[in-house]
């Protein structure tokens, strides 16, 4: 595989997902990351902390596409695209493993229970490096989550996925 | 936890956040798998993990970042993180004791915002770095 394919996927959309953020899911996730704070469980505690609603733990945006992406929320014909799989699928078929190399979140405001958010993903970069005799293929995907009502950005997630051959 | 407010005036270079320590269990991995929707068997199925050449199941990288996120919000306050970035340096294993190490690296104002920059790490009991990164929080000023 030449690097043409890496150039070809850079800038491509990974699709659009609309999610609703549910309170029960936030409490469950907070427990899973060992945070017992009542702010994630009781709206009175959240209000006492000056927050307008029950917030999501900082890393929740990484997983929120796995929940609450109900069919009626999705735009007609929106669909998703998977340029990352086009690169990593054939590489993985030839062996090696997939690693999560880096993760970054930029928060414009906290995510709150009840939010309906639109996530738009783009391949920000794709490149190869040689390391200790192995070929490492990096794919960087940015997902920008915006408030569906106001269209204002809420959180940007940057994920760096590595195939190590 | 989460109750004490961190004020800008009280933050200084080199300040360390309270350390959060947690011993990783297989139950944690199953709980995180369910709560995150990440059902990669490497994190919950010992048979498949060993068949793939791993000594046992191992932790989700995002569990490590999530645990570090808990330590971070314990210090700066829930809802105050504006940026959080990490590199996943090493796998985590059941029975490892994982501890946060969060150190203030600077503070600054941007417009009317009071920002604190932090070096954030998660280490095991031998000091091996599992997750290394940085974060920025917007904190209140006494002003």
- A38, HSE (Cβ side, Cα atoms, 13 Å): 9
Give the pLDDT confidence of B74-112 residue by residue, as tens digits. 999 999 999 999 999 999 999 999 999 999 999 999 999
Give the pLDDT confidence of A21-47 residue by residue, as tens digits. 999 999 999 999 999 999 999 999 999
Identify the pLDDT of residue B2. Answer: 45
Contacts with A35 from chain B: Cβ below 8 Å? 70, 73-74
Identify the pLDDT of residue B6. Answer: 95
Q: Domain range holding A90?
A: 4-22+70-164
What's the complex ipTM? Answer: 0.96
Tell me whether residue A35 is in a domain.
no
Q: Assign 3-class secondary structure to A120-163.
A: EEEEEEEEEEEECCEEEEEEEEEEEEEECCCCCEEEEEEEEEEE
Question: Is it true that domain B12-138 has CATH number 3.10.129.10?
Answer: yes
Tokens 């990974």, located at residue: A14
Residue A2's pLDDT band, with cuts at 50, 70 and 90, is: low
Chain A interface test: which of B20, B79, B87, B97 (most A C-beta within 10 Å)? B79
Residue of A nearest to B28 (CA): A32
CA B42 remoteness from chain centre = 21
Contacts with B86 from chain A: Cβ below 8 Å? 102-104
Chain A interface test: which of B36, B37, B59 (most A C-beta within 10 Å)? B36
Identify the pLDDT of residue A165. Answer: 87
Contacts with B81 from chain A: Cβ below 8 Å? 58, 105, 107
Give the pLDDT confidence of A92-101 residue by residue, as tens digits. 898 888 899 9
pTM of the predicted structure, to 2 decimals: 0.95
Give the pLDDT confidence of A51-67 residue by residue, as tens digits. 999 999 999 999 999 99
Tell me whether residue A48 is in a domain.
no
Cα A162 to Cα B39: distance, rounded to the nearest angstrom: 19
Q: Which of B2, B28, B66 sits opposite A39 (nearest CB)?
A: B2
Q: Which of A163, A32, A39, A17 is nearest to A101 (CA)?
A: A163
Give the pLDDT confidence of A117-163 residue by residue, as tens digits. 999 999 999 999 998 889 999 999 999 999 999 999 999 999 999 99
Cα A85 to Cα A88: distance, rounded to the nearest angstrom: 5
Q: How many domains does chain A have?
A: 1
Residue A78's pLDDT band, with cuts at 50, 70 and 90, is: low
Residue of A nearest to B27 (CA): A32
B81 to chain A, closest Cα gap in Å: 7
Instruction: Confirm or reject contact between B48 and chain A (CB < 8 A).
Output: no
Where exactly are the structural domains of chain B?
Answer: 12-138
CB contact under 8 A, A49 and B2: yes
Residue A78 sits in a domain of what CATH number? Answer: 3.10.129.10
Residue A11's pLDDT band, with cuts at 50, 70 and 90, is: very high
Cα B28 to Cα B95: distance, rounded to the nearest angstrom: 11
Intervals of chain B under pLDDT 50: 1-2
């Amino acid at each position: 595989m030449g690097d043409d394919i890496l150039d070809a996927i850079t800038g491509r959309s990974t699709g659009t997902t609309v999610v609703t953020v549910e309170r029960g899911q936030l409490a469950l996730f907070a427990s899973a990351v060992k945070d017992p704070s009542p702010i994630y469980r009781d709206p009175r505690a959240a209000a006492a902390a000056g927050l307008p609603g029950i917030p999501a733990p900082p890393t929740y945006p990484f997983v929120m596409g796995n929940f609450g992406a109900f069919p009626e929320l999705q735009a007609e014909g929106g669909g998703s695209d998977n340029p990352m799989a086009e690169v990593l699928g054939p590489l993985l078929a030839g062996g090696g493993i997939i690693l999560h190399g880096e993760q970054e979140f930029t928060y414009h405001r906290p995510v709150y229970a009840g939010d309906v958010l639109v996530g738009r993903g783009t391949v920000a970069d794709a490149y190869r490096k040689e390391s200790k005799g192995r070929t490492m293929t990096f794919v960087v995907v940015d997902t920008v989550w915006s408030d569906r009502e106001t269209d204002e950005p809420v959180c940007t997630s940057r994920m760096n996925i590595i195939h190590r051959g | 936890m989460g109750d004490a407010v961190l004020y800008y005036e009280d933050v200084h270079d080199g300040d360390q956040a309270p350390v959060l320590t947690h011993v990783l269990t297989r139950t944690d991995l199953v709980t995180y798998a369910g709560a995150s929707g990440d059902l990669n068997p490497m994190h919950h199925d010992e048979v498949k993990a060993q068949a793939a050449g791993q000594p046992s199941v191992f932790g989700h990288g995002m569990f490590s970042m999530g645990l570090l996120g808990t330590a971070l919000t314990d210090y700066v306050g829930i809802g105050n993180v504006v940026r959080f970035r990490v590199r996943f340096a090493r796998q985590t294993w059941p029975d490892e004791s994982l501890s946060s190490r969060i150190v203030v690296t600077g503070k600054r104002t941007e417009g009317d915002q009071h920002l604190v920059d932090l070096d954030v790490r998660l280490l095991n009991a031998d000091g091996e770095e599992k997750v290394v990164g940085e974060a920025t929080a917007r904190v209140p000023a006494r002003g």
